[in-house]
Amino acid sequence: MSSWSDRRVVVTGIGCVSSLGTDADTLWKNILAGRSGVSRITSFDVTNYDCQIAAEIRDFDPNPAFPNPKEVRRTDRFSHFGIYAGWGALKDSGLDLEKANRDEIGVFIGSGIGGLHTTEEQHSVLLSKGPSRISPFMIPMLILNMASGLFSLYYKLRGPNFATCSACATATHALGEAWATIKRGDASVMFAGGAEASIVPLGISGFGAMRAMSTRNDAPEKACRPFDKDRDGFVMGEGAAVVVLEELEHAKRRGARIYCEVAGYGNTADANHMTAPDPEGEGAGRAMRMALRHAGLRTDQIDYINCHATSTPVGDLCEVRMIKNVFGDHAKTLAASATKSMTGHMLGAAGAIEMAICCKAVEAQVAPPTINLDNPDPEADLNLVPHTPQERTIRAFANNSFGFGGHNAIVVGKRFEG
């Protein structure tokens, strides 16, 4: 068996569910068009809520990804998203499971919160009807590992399997740990990503109580504005994304389409504050340097960064400072955009949807835009790709994710060269 350093990992499939589309091509088309997926919440009455907007997914049918309708009824919305995204990634990859060794195929689909809809619904049942009326499926519906577990069950994938949970860094940790699993030789193929469905009264009111979300309710499509001096908080999104990571020789043997190569992964902690990032982005900077070291890349070889940038007053500038500290003069040369301006912040799924966007960006050699960047914060003096995409050489990219608890996760990828 080849050593860790010899084994290369590539992306061969992408699946997604978002307010901008339920497949990667539709998502990418809407991203390039600078289209916002944010609107007024319709799934419940938001009259008394400070934040009344989100990037909701409407008219979604999970059934094609499930073995039968009964299984759909027994699972939470976040699992619907995650399993559908996994199914989409499987289709996109062209992997024939009938010919594959399913002992060598694993699944890491994480979630930051898990089945919040089920938690909220079943708590109401408890209060109104008593404990005898609680669903026997409540616990397996709400626990956040279930998208990962059920996807492996439905598709008989018996390799490494768990769910990451690190708030908004969840999906990027799943991607990085899946990369490391293949590098170690413990799997040949990994389905990795994240799923989230927290646009429910409890989720919106909880983040609202933290004063973390935008209240620009009169102009939803303009509300998420990373790096803009008028930003006032994040806008919640929902959905999932899963990518197929595959050992290169395994992919070559079956003639797989290769989007890009995953080259490095960084994972650190701020150890600074429960919810606030390190002011200078020191922990994030260590994660970036770790990922670059694993990838064997210099800072001047990174041409695009998909920023975590959630549109919060503090967080966006911490990330700008990190980029300046790590990349020095090259920080002004590379492109660094915030696609949450269009998708909203998908919490535990954010790093996966942004990985999907990075894969399409390196394939197309186009840096996606940051919309709503009308009045850049003076400190955010980088090429943030305002309003419209930029055609440019993208040899390598970094995908940044940072979560409450001080979690930092960064995945570095590069254009595939045989």
Would you say 198 and 143 are in contact if contact means Cβ atoms under 8 Å apart? no
Q: How many CA atoms lie within 13 A of 38 on its CB side?
A: 33
Would you say 28 and 306 are in contact if contact means Cβ atoms under 8 Å apart? no
Cα(37)–Cα(57) distance, rounded to whole angstroms?
A: 9
376 burial level (CB within 10 Å; 0-12, 13-18, 19+): middle
Which of these, 164, 169, 36, 25, lies nearest to 106 by C-alpha position? Answer: 164
Q: Kind and range of the H or E element at 22?
A: none
Residue 220 main-chain phi, psi, to 5 deg: -55, -45
Residue 288 main-chain phi, psi, to 5 deg: -65, -45
DSSP tag of 17: E
Cα(28)–Cα(15) distance, rounded to whole angstroms?
A: 12
Would you say 185 and 1 are in contact if contact means Cβ atoms under 8 Å apart? yes
Catalytic residues: 168, 308, 345
Three-state DSSP class for 236?
Answer: strand
Q: Which two tokens stand for residue 59?
A: 């008219």
Three-state DSSP class for 261?
Answer: strand
The CB density around residue 333, as the number of other CB atoms within 10 Å, is 12
Would you say 275 and 397 are in contact if contact means Cβ atoms under 8 Å apart? no
User: Which residue matches tokens 């026997």?
Assistant: 136
Cα(338)–Cα(358) distance, rounded to whole angstroms?
A: 11
Which of these, 218, 234, 194, lies nearest to 338 by C-alpha position? Answer: 234
Rg of the Cα atoms in the chain: 20
DSSP tag of 166: B
Cα distance from N-terminal residue to C-terminal residue, the chain: 20
Dump strand ranges (E) for 218-275: 239-247, 260-269
